[in-house]
Structure 1
Amino acid sequence: MRKQGLIVLISMGLTQFPMSAKQTPKQNLPHAYRVTKGDTWYGIARKLNVSPETLAKLNGRTIGENLFENEKLQIPKHEAIKSVPSETKGIQKIAYPLLQKERIQKKFSELTYDPHKGIQFQRGNSSLVRASFPGTVVHVDYMDGYENFVILQHENGLYSVYGNLDRIQVTEGQQVKAKDRLGILTKDKGLYFQLNQNKSNLNPELVLQRGYE
């Protein structure tokens, strides 16, 4: 069952997580937050300068539970936020999944008529595919349209997907570090790269530019 869930992770359109959502001002914070499409506990907590665990606990929830669009969350008062030690890590730089930068042929999109949950790099000189984060290889498989692919599991419910591989050079259960070799691209396709945090899709292009918290 776990493997089926991982396959669904990329087979649903292999919808956008809005990394560029408006930031909530730290001054005069409201006492409630209305959940919008793509929000996660980590994203909301980052905007409010509070830990996701504290935010979830205040609402009688856990960070493992899903959020729902238009749901109203109670948030700590400004004074309480100041006193809460941050439990989140600083911005982590993500390792580029190829040896050199390649042009993005198809961008991340949440358009209903043309969804694309990852980014498709143009096939250039880089054939070696590398892990962008340290983690565990949780699934290795083949899917029409995406050739051989690898899914890595990381901390905080993060998964990364690497598709269009000709040869895979890791096995399920293997621990990898950032920049470790995962496989070799097919001759006629560029890398397909996707990032998911729990059930939300992140825009890989933005994460590559800004890093990940």
Structure 2
Amino acid sequence: MKGYVLYPYGAYLNPISGRREYNNGVDIGSFAGSEVFATAPGTVYEIGYTRNTGYFVKVSHKYGWKTIYSNMDRLKVKQGQQVSKTEVIGFVGKTEASPNYMLHYEIHVGTRAINPFAFLNQIQD
């Protein structure tokens, strides 16, 4: 997915609320309906929907790594499905919590969120 960083990983000043917030991932602005791709091969272990996150997909990978994709308006995968790198898993949307069309993307190692920015154009199989 091509886009631009709206909100970075870590602490930042939210321009909408004016409050200092913390982001466990990175929020990437894009066009409505843009395809969202898996960044590495793995297994979809959870899918769902909330008013704040929109549709979300959680994928487990080798060595305890996990990726989380949210703020989508529809999904193309099912729980338990194997996905390959660059496979379409959903489509960019917006939610009540965000007026922007964007993807929220997180990387976790075990239970710890890490900054995904360095990986965005570097992820390998």
CA contact 1:133–1:154 (8 Å) conserved in 2: yes
**Equivalent residue in structure 2 for 1:189, among 101, 106, 116:** 101
Q: Deviations over 1:133-160 (max 9, x none)?
A: 0000000001232101000000111110
Match of 2:118 in 1: 206
Q: Which has the bigger relative contact order, CA under 8 A and spacing at least 6?
A: 2
Distance in 2 separating the partners of 1:190 and 1:200: 23
Change in CA separation of 1:159 and 1:122 when aligned onto 2, cut-off 3 Å: same
TM superposition shift of 1:210: 4.8
CA contact 1:167–1:184 (8 Å) conserved in 2: yes
Report the TM-score, using the length of structure 2 for normalisation: 0.81
Larger radius of gyration: 1
Match of 2:87 in 1: 180
TM superposition shift of 1:125: 6.8
TM superposition shift of 1:199: 1.4
What is the identity percentage for the equivalent residue pairs of Structure 1 and Structure 2?
26
Which residues of structure 1 form unaligned runs of 5+? Answer: 1-97
CA contact 1:102–1:123 (8 Å) conserved in 2: yes
CA contact 1:110–1:117 (8 Å) conserved in 2: no
Structure showing the higher helix proportion among its residues: 1
CA contact 1:149–1:162 (8 Å) conserved in 2: yes
Report the TM-score, using the length of structure 1 for normalisation: 0.49
TM superposition shift of 1:116: 0.5
Structure showing the higher strand proportion among its residues: 2
CA contact 2:33–2:91 (8 Å) conserved in 1: no
**Equivalent residue in structure 1 for 2:60, among 123, 145, 153:** 153
TM superposition shift of 1:207: 1.7
Which residues of structure 2 form unaligned runs of 5+? Answer: 13-19, 95-99
| Structure 2 SS opposite 1:186 | strand
Change in CA separation of 1:120 and 1:182 when aligned onto 2, cut-off 3 Å: same
Q: Deviations over 1:1-41 (max 9, x none)?
A: xxxxxxxxxxxxxxxxxxxxxxxxxxxxxxxxxxxxxxxxx
| Structure 1 SS opposite 2:70 | strand
TM superposition shift of 1:200: 1.3
TM superposition shift of 1:123: 2.5
Change in CA separation of 1:152 and 1:164 when aligned onto 2, cut-off 3 Å: same
